[in-house]
A = this chain, B = another copy of it.
């Protein structure tokens, strides 16, 4: 039995590699293709159009192939509405539910292509058809969207409620992967396609500073994701300077980062130890745990700032400058601090909110928190991953953002040089 379906591709599909990948997908998955129409973009500003029939030996295989083509940006010609099915109970989705990518996605509902809100990878798609009586949409004055239109948005699995209309199958879904920027893509163009420690570091830092300036100037949101190595390696003061100067709009970190930052403040000099020269006074375990105890006694970081106990550092500047932060807990935490969100689902929700709001994300020397933030990012959000370990950077970039820069460098020299670029 041979079954088939016609799909269309449009755009800079040759030089972006999309077309080659689509042909590859079909062949790799055991299908065949017949190109029905092919109109090549004859020069660099012209787009290319391709319509092809995809053949497979079973409906199941055809569906699998169409799913992959869909994720490359191909759309089924002669589209039908997406299939919807109600969730059978809380936290449980229908068997064949569509699992999202992080690319801009559209779902066809009642003959209309609806853009998915807050796109994020590995979620279910929920369709909400408005009714005149729906109190939630009655007040909706969002000019972008007709209040009578259906809405489509993402939900993580554990947030699905019984009865939610969940998109299933592959029909009626259109994905738009970002196109590779042409020449002139700026700093976010030339560095794609790999990570390397063999790059001119100073000029890369300059590019990143310019990007931050631009986002700042446009009223955008800069989110930093911070690991404890920032404190060990001596980048803490420079980061505090950036927060104080208003370059940072949100901070995402773990219990460890905050404790290290506060410990520098509380014990950095009180025992006569010169923090500049000796960061591990006998491993510092005592100071670490004492810091947690001290902050717990006071009732949290903000209270410690209010009482004047904490009077410098990154967390201090966040509180003084109203920069919101999320401290997400993990099983390796000591303490934790009262500010740390210990439940991972609750912490993910807080991170999700940060991520969706961000226009530029700086991931600084933390794998766990960077992956957690990255999981919630649309692929259109500009992202910079900085770590001295190339494996960390590769792992982050591999997760699929087409707008990510990786930089393998020493965070202890990176942040001071970035500060100098931005504050001079």
Kindly list chain B residues whose C-beta atoms are within 8 Å of the C-beta of A304.
none
Kindly list chain B residues whose C-beta atoms are within 8 Å of the C-beta of A271.
64
Contact with B along A380-424 (1 / 0, CB 8 A): 000000001111000000000000000011101110110000000
A-B contact pairs, 22 of them (CB 8 A): A14-B14, A14-B19, A26-B44, A32-B44, A34-B43, A35-B40, A68-B282, A95-B294, A97-B293, A122-B334, A157-B292, A200-B279, A201-B412, A202-B412, A330-B330, A330-B344, A331-B344, A331-B351, A344-B344, A388-B388, A388-B410, A408-B410
Query: In the assembled complex, how far is the CB of residue A11 from the closest CB belonging to chain B, in whole angstroms?
Result: 12
Q: For the complex, give the distance between the alpha carbons of A98 and B16 in Å.
A: 30
Asked whether A345 is an interface residue with its Cβ less than 8 Å from the other chain, the reply is yes
Asked whether A332 is an interface residue with its Cβ less than 8 Å from the other chain, the reply is yes
With both beta carbons as reference points, the residue of chain B lying nearest to A255 in the complex is identified as: B344
Given A43-B32, A296-B92: A277 and B335 within 8 A (CB)? Answer: no
Q: For the complex, give the distance between the alpha carbons of A410 and B290 in Å.
A: 33
Cross-chain contact A190 with B388 (CB below 8 angstroms): no
Cross-chain contact A202 with B413 (CB below 8 angstroms): yes
Kindly list chain B residues whose C-beta atoms are within 8 Å of the C-beta of A288.
122
Asked whether A342 is an interface residue with its Cβ less than 8 Å from the other chain, the reply is yes
Contact with B along A282-324 (1 / 0, CB 8 A): 1001101110111011000000000000000000000000000
Query: In the assembled complex, how far is the CB of residue A361 from the closest CB belonging to chain B, in whole angstroms?
Result: 15
With both beta carbons as reference points, the residue of chain B lying nearest to A347 in the complex is identified as: B331
Asked whether A278 is an interface residue with its Cβ less than 8 Å from the other chain, the reply is yes
8 A Cβ contacts from A122-149 to B: 122
Q: For the complex, give the distance between the alpha carbons of A412 and B229 in Å.
A: 19
Cross-chain contact B289 with A157 (CB below 8 angstroms): yes
The copy count of this chain in the complex is: 4
Cross-chain contact A201 with B389 (CB below 8 angstroms): no
**5 nearest CB pairs, A to B:** A200-B234, A201-B412, A198-B232, A413-B413, A409-B410
Q: For the complex, give the distance between the alpha carbons of A201 and B388 in Å.
A: 12
Cross-chain contact B199 with A279 (CB below 8 angstroms): yes
Cross-chain contact A33 with B43 (CB below 8 angstroms): yes
8 A Cβ contacts from A35-56 to B: 35, 38, 40-44
Given A27-B44, A344-B329: A202 and B391 within 8 A (CB)? Answer: no
Q: For the complex, give the distance between the alpha carbons of A20 and B21 in Å.
A: 11
* Most B Cβ at <10 Å: residue of A43, A271, A297, A416: A43
Q: For the complex, give the distance between the alpha carbons of A343 and B28 in Å.
A: 42
Kindly list chain B residues whose C-beta atoms are within 8 Å of the C-beta of A28.
183
8 A Cβ contacts from A49-78 to B: 64, 67-68
Asked whether A182 is an interface residue with its Cβ less than 8 Å from the other chain, the reply is yes
Q: For the complex, give the distance between the alpha carbons of A257 and B412 in Å.
A: 26
With both beta carbons as reference points, the residue of chain B lying nearest to A374 in the complex is identified as: B332
In-complex Cβ contact of A297 among B20, B24, B92, B286 (8 A): B92
Q: For the complex, give the distance between the alpha carbons of A99 and B293 in Å.
A: 11
Kindly list chain B residues whose C-beta atoms are within 8 Å of the C-beta of A408.
388, 410
